[in-house]
Structures are given as structure tokens and as C-alpha cells.
Amino acid sequence: MATFKSWLNAARLRTLPLSFSGIIVGSAMALNDGEFNSTIFILALLTTLGFQVLSNFANDYGDGVKGTDNDERVGPKRALQSGLLSEKELKTGMLITIVFSLIVAIALIYVAFGFENMGYFWLFFLLGIASIVAAVKYTVGKSAYGYKAMGDVFVFLFFGLLSVVGSYFLYTQTISLLIFLPAIAIGFLSSAVLNLNNMRDLITDKNVNKITIPVLLGAKKAKKYHAFLLIGAYAAAFLYYYFSDVPWWHYLPLIAFIPLLDHYAKVKQNQTPSLLDPELKKVALTTFLFAILFFVFNLF
């Protein structure tokens, strides 16, 4: 029988700060507009927790049964690969997590819209279903989009646009073009984390015919693509402050990007894929730090 530690390993809780970042940024903008609701905030975080853990279980299962996770894998050992969990146990874990995510998502939608706005209720319910499908289909099944170089697109859409703009809409039931700039910043940074992961696994992914952006572009161009994501994220965040016409000290959350200068220098010079693993944490924590600072500075 699987131990609690085995489930924690498969859940990969270290990925949660990145997934929470979009919710924090969207909530910060709602706070700035005087529309913050602590119940919505907590339920949104719990919903995201469910989706992220489901995605991690599904990735573990999908890559495991396809043989992508093998002895040549560079990154941390997965639960199915190392025998900590069986295929049946992971399927059960996925089902339980889906049920949990749906229950919390419905509660979130009800608190945000009630039954007076059934159009919004069903729209966000369908977005929740889409999030569940996207979490599972990343690596599971013959048509897994993570094996067709589409992972970056879905990460950008769900971790960036939907997470930030969607969470803001839950509070305010409004949207403006300005909101999309921090959403783009979070989306690019989240895609950068995935790109690093795929650069680290480029050789093993290529050997098992898992097509990712680095497999398509090659290591050298994948590094240029990584630079585009980092610069794009900074530019989007900067433009948000610029067009918001805020005092200079509101720009201070941008200091979270400073560690990325040293980070990219290491990525550019890297010749050993395994050494990219610590760099994933740097980008993930940079994203989370930016989100926290973004929230804090919207308190004033």
C-alpha cells in the first residue's frame, strides 16, 4: 500500500507556488479596485491546488505508462517510475482529485455569481471542466498535447490568462485590456519554467519521440526562446505599471526579475542538462515573489 510520503512525492507540492501566482495577481488587481473577497480568494487557491495536483498525478501516470520516465531521466524520479505508486493507485488518486476540484470549483463559482448570473455560472463551470481535461491530457492518452509541442501554449493560457483574468473576473465581473498585461507576464514566466524542464529532458524526450519546443528547435534556439519568454514577461509587467500611471514605488515588484539576469547567463552557457534543474526553482520562485510583491504593493 502506498504511503502518505509516496502521495506527497507524486503531488509535487513544490510546484504549487507557481500555480498560485496567477490567482494572487488577479486577486491583487481586484483588491486595488476595492472588490477583494477573502472567501473567493481561498476557494480559488483550493481550486488551483486541485488542478495542479491532478496535473502532477496525470503527468506521472502518462509519462510512466508511455516509458518517457525511464532510467535515462535527468530530473527527479517520479512515483510510478520508481515504484512508489502503481498505475491503479495513480488513477484512483486522479479520480479523487477530480472530484475534489469540481466540488471546490462549484463552491467558488456559487460564491462569486450565485444563481442570479447563470450565464457566468455555466461559463466558469465549463472552464473548470476544460482545466481538468487540460491537466489530464497533457501526457495521458494517444493525443496527449504535451507530446505535440503544445504544452507551452496551454501553460500560457491556463497559468497566465485564465488564472489572472479569470480570478479577477470572479471578484469584479468585469474585464479591461490592462489586466491582460500581468496575465501575459505570469503566462510567459510559467512557460519559461516548462521550457527549462523540457530543455533539461531534451535528449530523453527526443529518444522516446516526445515532441517539445526544445526538441523542435534544438538546444541553441530553445535558449533564445527562453530569453524571449523572460524578456516578454518583464516587458508586459513594466507596461502594466506604465499604462496604470502609478507612483514610482509601485514599480518595485519588478525587482523580482533581477535574479533572472544571472539565471539566463547560466542557461545560455549550459552544456549539461542536469544542471538546469536548479534553474527551474529560480524562475518558479521569481514568479511567486513577483506575485506576492504585486499583491503587497496593491495594499497601498
Number of CB atoms found within 10 A of residue 256's CB: 21
The torsion defined by the Cα of 60, 62, 63 and 64, in degrees rounded to 10, comes to 70
Nearest C-alpha neighbor of 64 from the set 37, 83, 51: 83
**Cα-based distances in Å from 98 to 55, 89, 93:** 10, 14, 9
Report the Cα 160 to chain-centroid distance in Å. 7
Highest mean pLDDT among 9-13, 69-73, 259-263: 259-263
> In the predicted model, what is the mean pLDDT of residues 23-33?
96
The tens digit of pLDDT for each residue in 194-206 reads: 999 999 999 888 9
pLDDT score recorded for residue 72:
62
Would you say how long the chain is, in residues?
300
Write down the residue that cell numbers 505535440 correspond to: 148
End-to-end CA distance of the chain: 51
Question: How much of the chain exceeds pLDDT 70, in percent?
Answer: 96
Cell of 171: 471578484
What domains are there in the chain, each with its CATH number? 21-297 (1.10.600)
Identity at 116, one-letter amino acid code: E
pLDDT score recorded for residue 3:
76
* DSSP per position, 46-65: HHHHHHHHHHHHHHHHHHHH
The model's pTM is 0.94
The tens digit of pLDDT for each residue in 162-190 reads: 999 999 999 999 999 999 999 999 999 99
Report the Cα 155 to chain-centroid distance in Å. 6
Nearest C-alpha neighbor of 243 from the set 195, 181, 151: 181
Q: What is the rounded distance in angstroms from the CA atom of residue 192 to the CA atom of residue 86?
A: 31
Residue 158 pLDDT > 80, yes or no?
Answer: yes
Q: What average pLDDT does the chain have?
A: 92
pLDDT score recorded for residue 73:
60
